[in-house]
Structure 1
Amino acid sequence: MMKRLLLTLVCASAAAAVLAGCASPEPRYYTLAQGPGAVAAPAPAAAPSTDTLWLEVAPVRVPERLNRPQLVVRDGRSGNDGGSDAGVRLLDLSRWSSPLPDELRDALSQRLQATLGAVDTYQQGLSDVQPLYRITTEVLRLDADVGQRAGATINWTVRRLPDGKVVSGRTQAELPAPGEVDGVVAAYRQIVASTANDIAAGVQALRR
């Protein structure tokens, strides 16, 4: 009887181990918000004032191939697997915490508000406030080789309201990205910061 009970316990433990080994690993989520892996909360809405610098940071346009929950990187292997488009690879276990256009828009807005001391009417949902500057952004290229480098080409436009005067520019960057996926995301955050700095300079040019 004791031997039968012992055998039953051993079999149960072995089955549990097999099931644990077969469990799918959980994906890890990343954000482009400022700070190590933390999603920054929006700043509290400011009361309307003649001194307030009101911005409207519009949703960022990205190529459809990048508009995925997973991070999309270059495929350095010979041939692609079933989860890859031509020349790219989807990292199923590395995902954005929100859709990539939202990640980019929110990160740009966060940095622009901090740099310029401004308030983003789009982020704050202030539909009754007329922004002084409307910012539009389009990602032409955002790619990376995991553990090696990351790069981007981003077009942006700042339009002053109500006269419609425009300043446009392009931010291009190629950065080292060591440290697997964490390094890629860190490089992307630096690219967002560079883009925000360029846009802020555009806003300041229109304020003169």
Structure 2
Amino acid sequence: MKPSRTACALSLAATLATLVLAGCAASPAVRYYSLSAATPATAAAAASKPLLVEVPPLSLPERLVRPQMVVRAPTGQLEILDLHRWSSPFDAELHDALASGITQQLGAIDVSGGGRLAGQPVYRVAVQLRQWEAVQNQRVDAGFSWTIRRSDDARNIACQWNQSEPVGAGMDALADGARTLTAQAAQRIAASLTALDADAAAKCPG
């Protein structure tokens, strides 16, 4: 007896469903990374009037404004990796990691979202990421510049810092290198702010 059209249709649908499920099961999973330190930095002791800090959105190359990791292969080719992503778009991820690192280093309060105290000056920290090259299995190069300006007078400072962090093989190592550079940048910026708060004529820490 010939199978009915309904039975054939059901059999075909079941076969297609099996193929789709098999294809999904074989698809590699997306991996997510963060620039924030796994263990928070030790916060400075809170003063009676903690510093107030505002960190506006960062300025950085347009090619990096995406959640996917942007890396350079050892051959020099630039690659956007769909399966390796930051936990948020890179500009937001870097901003949050820097702002958190700076305030933790200083025991400061981030007032970027409001909540300023009347009569207390705010330090506005504007950061520019001038260079960011993540070379697979080799290193991460970063170039930061920043200006810090106090809201109540002409006290300000402008600094820059370049660093290269060697990394091992694999994307986990590359993410670790990026996280290390971000933490170091936050430390440098915090040191600049501390120097400026103590002396209006302060120079960028060496």
TM class, shorter-chain normalised? Answer: 0.7 to 0.9
In 1, Cα distance between equivalents of 2:165 and 2:126: 24
SS of the equivalent of 1:171 reads: strand
Which residue identity does 1:207 align to in structure 2?
Answer: D
SS of the equivalent of 2:141 reads: strand
CA RMSD after TM alignment = 2.8
For residue 135 of structure 2, what is the aligned residue in structure 1? 145
Q: Is the 8 A contact 2:64 2:91 kept in 1?
A: no
- Evaluate the alpha carbon distance shift between residue 50 and residue 132 of structure 1 in structure 2; reply closer, same or farther with a 3 A threshold: farther
Of residues 108, 115, 125, the one that matches 1:118 is 108
In 2, Cα distance between equivalents of 1:197 and 1:161: 22
For residue 85 of structure 2, what is the aligned residue in structure 1? 95
For residue 57 of structure 2, what is the aligned residue in structure 1? 59
Shift of 1:75: 3.0
1:34 aligns with 2:37: yes
SS of the equivalent of 1:163 reads: coil
Aligned residues: 179
Q: Give the TM-score normalised by the residue count of structure 2.
A: 0.76
Q: Is the 8 A contact 1:171 1:194 kept in 2?
A: no
In 2, Cα distance between equivalents of 1:119 and 1:133: 10
Q: Give the TM-score normalised by the residue count of structure 1.
A: 0.76
For residue 68 of structure 1, what is the aligned residue in structure 2? 66
In 1, Cα distance between equivalents of 2:163 and 2:116: 37
SS of the equivalent of 1:173 reads: strand
In 2, Cα distance between equivalents of 1:167 and 1:22: 56
SS of the equivalent of 2:154 reads: coil
Q: Determine what percentage of the aligned residue pairs are the same residue.
A: 37
CA deviation map 1:59-79 (0-9, x unaligned): 11110011112000013348x
Unaligned 5+ runs, structure 1? 1-11, 41-45, 79-86
Unaligned 5+ runs, structure 2? 1-13, 41-45, 199-206
Which residue identity does 1:144 align to in structure 2?
Answer: A
